[in-house]
Structure 1
Amino acid sequence: MSRIDATFAALKDQNRKGFVAYIMAGDPDEARSLAVMKGLPAAGVDVIELGVPFTDPMADGPTIQLAGQRALEAGMTLEKTLAMARAFRAEDTTTPIVLMGYYNPIYSRGVDKFLVDAQEAGIDGLIVVDLPPEEDDELCLPAQAAGLNFIRLATPTTDAKRLPKVLTNTSGFVYYVSITGITGAAEANAAAVAPEVARIKASTDLPIIVGFGVRTPETAKAIAGIADGCVVGSAIVEQIASGKPVDEILSFVKSLSDGAHSA
């Protein structure tokens, strides 16, 4: 059982919803990014999504694009992202870490080497947004064989014909994208999302975690209430971009996690 599986099993036993937080590795620099990351579990974060900066982040809106640019300009790399995970793991051996990003940096490193290094760094799962199920042999299947969960995104346009393909070989949880478009573009609507979550739940026993458009404690509560939990990314990244002290950023994260956990 992976850390991700264990976390969601524990949440289910406690009848609690999960809260997942996204940050960009190295934004605005390694030290500050690591300080935020280390504080996330105490702020109520159940799973950490750690973004790997990339030069062409096609699924991301301006907020996360800019975060990636800041990280790249500060010298962040995939190697340093894994080092960040290792530094986090030196103090926290239980909170799951999911690397989220694009295939190019992994391909450039070499899949076999990447998987060995990721496992050694304490990575638990991968979300690679530009690898469709048709490319499972590239990374998904080798990752699962190495003990890493491969988490797939479902969207409002994932119809009944496509859904079984998306769910094949998915593990850990299903990330449901609540809106059509890029990250940070609009606010999620629980009433609109609920039937979609129910539709996916009818086809899988995996937890369904909803992201994109969750920006406030109220929305976190509403969205978590109709799923197994929610993800917040852009709203947290905006707090980091504002230059606020780390404790203020973590206080904001805590307000979101409290919202999700109160669902």
Structure 2
Amino acid sequence: MSAEKISGAAASLSTARSSKTAARIEAARAEGRAAFVGYLPAGYPDKESSIAAALELVRNGADVIEIGIPYSDPVMDGPVIQQATTEVLARGFRIDEVFEIVQAVTDATEAAVLVMTYYNLIDRMGAEEFARRLAEAGGAGAITPDLIPDEAEDWIAATEAHGLDRVFLSAPTSSPERVAEIVQASRGFVYAVSLMGVTGARSEVSHAAERVVRAAHDAGAERVCVGLGVSTRAHVEEIGRYADGVIVGTALVAALRDGGPEEVGRLAGELSGRPA
């Protein structure tokens, strides 16, 4: 599907509902900072703890929460997140838990709550049904790392019908034509992958990150957030100079593993520079 067709399809189905994610990122921009986006796996180490950890994230400066849906073949996830989601699946995780977690977090906070999921899980339920249930739970939308705009017609239609954001990924290897398609298809923000590979904490930010952000902005993206490899306050400050949001995942999951929701809150406050 071309960028023009993607844009036209979205426009023809557009609703009056605004983007919750965009609103949170723009609020951060108005304060002169990049938005802080925190990732946690759904149901890890159990449902109540994952809800408590998400609430600690918000209390300590997170603007947007990503709730990852455990999946048996997580091709983008590094060892820390893989281990966490493997444990969740082993205890008999149900997809319904995701909507319950999203509902609990949105009921208690003003943060935008996205789910991050491989598209097979949406496709299995049906794009319309998944979007409806996510919207009813108060969710802002979804990040789909393995879905490309060319194959997203059903998902674009479902998210437009229910006023949900849809976040596509742009990588260092994305061609200018592909970046244009990603920008046109995305709603909320574009996820800039800072490096090729899987998630995981790293000692420094990839030199490609700024180039990926610039390419998306040049293609018309209003908001671009950087993820993969972000784990320190220094990383957040560095990326915040050129990106609209900074995404942290592995470091927060490790904090939850080692110290529970309280440690997630402590680390979030350190990363955001805005502890409770």
Q: Give the TM-score category using the shorter length.
A: over 0.9
Superposition pairs for residues 12-91 of structure 1, below 5 Å?
12-91=29-108
* Per-residue deviation, 1:187: 4.5
* Per-residue deviation, 1:131: 1.3
Deviations 1:54-78 (A, max 9, x none): 1111111111111111111233222
* Per-residue deviation, 1:95: 0.8
Task: Give 2:168's aligned residue.
Answer: 152
- Is 1:235 the equivalent of 2:251? yes
Partner Cα separation in structure 2 for residue 187 and residue 223 of structure 1: 14
Report if aligned partners of 1:27, 1:33 keep a CA contact under 8 Å in 2: yes
Q: Tell me how large the CA RMSD over aligned residues is.
A: 1.8
Partner Cα separation in structure 2 for residue 103 and residue 193 of structure 1: 25
Partner Cα separation in structure 1 for residue 197 and residue 206 of structure 2: 17
* Per-residue deviation, 1:186: 4.1
Task: Give 1:112's aligned residue.
Answer: 128
User: Which of 128, 142, 162 is 2:158 aligned to?
Assistant: 142
* Per-residue deviation, 1:89: 2.3
Superposition pairs for residues 149-188 of structure 1, below 5 Å?
149-184=165-200, 186-188=202-204
What is the total number of aligned residue pairs between the two structures?
Answer: 258
State the one-letter code of the partner of 2:37. Answer: V
List alignment gaps of at least 5 residues for structure 2: 1-17
Task: Give 2:237's aligned residue.
Answer: 221
* Per-residue deviation, 1:188: 4.7
Partner Cα separation in structure 1 for residue 98 and residue 126 of structure 2: 16
- Is 1:257 the equivalent of 2:272? yes
- The change in CA–CA distance for 1:179 and 1:186 in structure 2 (over 3 A counts) is farther
Deviations 1:222-244 (A, max 9, x none): 112221121000111111122x1
Partner Cα separation in structure 2 for residue 130 and residue 37 of structure 1: 24
Partner Cα separation in structure 1 for residue 268 and residue 26 of structure 2: 23
Task: Give 1:247's aligned residue.
Answer: 262
Task: Give 2:4's aligned residue.
Answer: none
* Per-residue deviation, 1:128: 1.1
- The change in CA–CA distance for 1:22 and 1:2 in structure 2 (over 3 A counts) is same
Equivalent pairs: percent with the same residue?
32
List alignment gaps of at least 5 residues for structure 1: none
State the one-letter code of the partner of 1:207. Answer: R
Task: Give 2:5's aligned residue.
Answer: none
Deviations 1:207-261 (A, max 9, x none): 111010101111111112221121000111111122x1422221011111118x9
User: Which of 4, 7, 26 is 1:9 aligned to?
Assistant: 26
Partner Cα separation in structure 2 for residue 131 and residue 254 of structure 1: 32
Greater Cα shift, 168-177 or 4-13? 4-13
Partner Cα separation in structure 1 for residue 91 and residue 60 of structure 2: 26
Instruction: Look up the SS of the partner of 1:168 in the other structure.
Output: helix
Instruction: Look up the SS of the partner of 1:226 in the other structure.
Output: coil
* Per-residue deviation, 1:150: 0.6
Report if aligned partners of 1:19, 1:231 keep a CA contact under 8 Å in 2: yes
Partner Cα separation in structure 1 for residue 144 and residue 211 of structure 2: 26
Partner Cα separation in structure 1 for residue 186 and residue 166 of structure 2: 6
Partner Cα separation in structure 1 for residue 55 and residue 201 of structure 2: 28
- The change in CA–CA distance for 1:192 and 1:130 in structure 2 (over 3 A counts) is closer
Deviations 1:37-57 (A, max 9, x none): 122111100000000011111
- The change in CA–CA distance for 1:102 and 1:245 in structure 2 (over 3 A counts) is closer
Task: Give 2:209's aligned residue.
Answer: 193
Partner Cα separation in structure 2 for residue 39 and residue 196 of structure 1: 31
Instruction: Look up the SS of the partner of 1:210 in the other structure.
Output: strand
Partner Cα separation in structure 1 for residue 94 and residue 156 of structure 2: 22
* Per-residue deviation, 1:144: 2.2
Tell me the TM-score normalised to structure 1 length: 0.92
Instruction: Look up the SS of the partner of 1:22 in the other structure.
Output: strand
